Structure 1
Amino acid sequence: MSQVWFITGASSGFGLDLALLALSAGHKVIGTVRDASRASDAVSAIKAKGGEILELDVTKADTIAAVVEKANGIYGGVDILVNNAGYSLLGAVEDMKEEEVKLQMETNFFGPLRLIRAFLPTLRTRGNGNSTIVNISSIAGQDAQPTCGLYAASKFALEGLSEALALEVAPFNIAVLIVEPGAFRTNFLHASKQPETPLSEPYKGGPVDTVLQKFGSAAGKQRGDPAKAVARIFEVVTGTGEAGGLRGKILRLPLGPDCLERIERKLKKFNADIEATRSFALATDFD
């Protein structure tokens, strides 16, 4: 069955790959880019396969309604909303300026929130059991490392929103899928941003400095194959292929061995904390 996809951040990475895969499979795609002239290669690739392109900056709240209306007018509505646009702000939390913090949250959390709210009336009318909201998170949405304080915060927020949203929209036959990629060989690390303030002296040589250097050396060498990740996302959303049987059965889709390792390690620590505090937690009711 052909469906209509609305994919933000379609200029590169997962967004572009997913758009091209969906088009190749016979679906209709509306991809968004911030600047069509600067993303001309991606725009040409999507249009060559029959896709549509709209310009959208998810941080500009006053433009969302018009873009959503235009998108709904192209094919009469949207079946699958993919919130993929985002970036990472990497550095010490203490070094980040207020404006940098706000932009990180605007892009990775408030942008998706606005699009979800704007598209829901249409998604409800197309609630034939095939409507899906896909929120691209990260392993950082489960496991925060030094340097990733605000990036992780934005993804933790997106995941919390998604958990509640999944319960709220289930009666309308709308599925919610949280995608949690580990390290994949996209331009993600190349496109990451660091605070305008250089790493301050107390953090030099410490965990923040170490992780920043690790990210720098890993750019372009990530073990994850983006094509394989995108194929799994497509299969779970459409109910086809190797992972198609998971459609409607999972809330989270972790991707990559590193992602699974970090989640499992965090779960062990979480469970250890529960056991260590169990007696105290149980003794907090009124006598």
Structure 2
Amino acid sequence: MTSSRTWLVTGASSGLGAAVAEAALQAGHNVIATARNCIKAAEANPRISKLGGTWIELDVTSPNTTKLVEDAISKAGGVIDVIVNNAGYSLLGSIEDMSENEIEAQFSTNVYGAVRVLKGVLPFMRARKSGTVVNISSSAGIDGLPTCAMYAGTKFALEGMSESLSRELEPFGIRVLVVEPGSLRTNFWSAYVEPVAGMNKAYAGTPLENVLQAFKTNKGTQPGDAVKCAQRILEVVDDTGMGVGKGSLLRLPLVPDCYKRLQSKVDALQETLLQTKEIAHSTGF
């Protein structure tokens, strides 16, 4: 039986974030759930409150994020065991059509937002020399599809940041887990953002437009179950169920489509290494 821990889950208003918050509560943990609009989030997810979860209003793009997180943890008793950086969205389209403001907003939410939250959480974890950081990446964090240049860019950034963090935080007893969900049957993809400028006509009929159209028509057909994914995350964090013995994992791919893309990426990287071995070794002093 896992002892009760305190979790903070960002972007808990819907989808995977809401599912993780609910799974943690059902397992007997304390949960601080964040959303940009707590009233709407609580109405959409009544079980979180009924199970004892606490809502706080948090927009991770705000410069006040770190202080708000610190205040929420202090109010909860000054202990935080698990942080789940889940808040995010996808900006899809050609980078030619994206304004700098649109690109900055994408990175401010998906990358800097996680950093702002971590700055509020890590001092508490370091003080107790324990804790788990769960950064929600994506299959796009290992394999960038057409239309996803900026979204994949943010997830690749989160992946690299997490790799370094895992090594930096190990001396403090803090674990980092990168979760890589495939396509989930949630409202995530129906809530994606396209550039205000629209699509450059030069991309008509190209892979970019084809993939974008596929995203637009896949609602309700995605292969991933957010509730099952949330349960697997919980188990890996708590060392229970299918997560027993997985405490050393840095990455957790979820949904068969993500696993397949990760396997293809590993195979391609191996082939690249084989083809470039002689070239790489020819360039030393």
Q: Same fold (TM over 0.5)?
A: yes
Worse overlay, 47-56 or 63-72:
63-72
1:253 is paired with a residue whose SS is: strand
Aligned residues: 283
What is the alpha-carbon distance in structure 2 between the residues aligned to residue 224 and residue 71 of structure 1? 32
1:64 corresponds to which residue?
66
2:85 partner letter: N
Write out the 4+ residue segments of structure 1 that deviate beyond 6 Å after TM superposition: none
How do 1:112-151 and structure 2 match up within 5 A? Answer: 112-128=114-130, 131-151=131-151
Q: Specify the alignment match of 1:181 in structure 2.
A: 181
Residue 44 of structure 1 corresponds to 46
CA deviation digits over 1:211-269, x for unaligned, max 9? Answer: 001111112211111111111000000111122321x2100000111111111111222
The question of whether the paired residues in 1 share the 8 Å contact of 2:97 and 2:195 is answered with yes
Q: Is the CA contact 1:16–1:42 (under 8 Å) kept in the aligned structure 2?
A: no
Partner of 1:224: 224
Conserved in 2, the CA contact under 8 Å of 1:72 and 1:78? no
- The amino acid that maps onto 1:49 is L
Alignment match, 2:109: 107
CA contact (8 A) 2:65 2:117 kept: no
Aligned 8 A contact 2:66 2:119 in 1: no
Say whether the 8 Å CA contact 1:132–1:237 is kept in structure 2. yes
The answer to whether the Cα contact below 8 Å between 1:10 and 1:42 also exists between their aligned partners in 2 is: no
Secondary structure at 2:190's aligned position in 1? coil
* SS state at 1:177 partner: strand
Following the alignment from structure 1 to structure 2, what is the Cα–Cα distance between the partners of residues 65 and 172?
A: 22
CA contact (8 A) 2:69 2:120 kept: no
Q: Which amino acid aligns with 2:144?
A: A
Please state whether the residue corresponding to 2:180 is helix, strand or coil.
strand
Which structure 2 residues correspond to residues 247-262 of structure 1 after superposition, within 5 A? 248-262=247-261
Amino acid at match of 1:105: F
Superposition pairs for residues 209-248 of structure 1, below 5 Å?
Answer: 209-246=209-246, 248=247
Contact 2:7 2:80 survives alignment (8 Å): yes
Q: Distance in 2 between matches of 1:6 and 1:138?
A: 20
Q: Partner amino acid for 1:284?
A: T
Partner of 1:84: 86
Q: Which moved more, 1:62-71 or 1:159-168?
A: 62-71
Q: What is the Cα deviation at residue 170 of structure 1?
A: 0.5
Shift of 1:43: 5.3
Normalised TM-score (structure 2): 0.96
> More displaced, 235-244 or 171-180?
235-244
Could you tell me which residue of structure 2 aligns to residue 34 of structure 1? 36
Letter in 2 for 1:194: E
Q: Which residue of 24, 27, 31 corresponds with 2:26?
A: 24
Alpha-carbon deviation of 1:96?
A: 0.6
The answer on whether the counterparts of 1:36 and 1:43 sit within 8 Å (CA) in structure 2 is no
Give the alignment's Cα RMSD to 1 decimal: 1.2
- The range that moved more, 17-26 or 59-68, is 59-68
Corresponding residue for residue 267 of structure 2: 268
Contact 1:61 1:111 (8 Å CA) reproduced: no
- Structure-1 separation of matches of 2:125 and 2:164: 17
Percent identity among equivalent residues?
A: 46
TM-score (norm 1): 0.95
Which stretch of the first structure deviates more once superposed, 110-119 or 26-35? Answer: 110-119
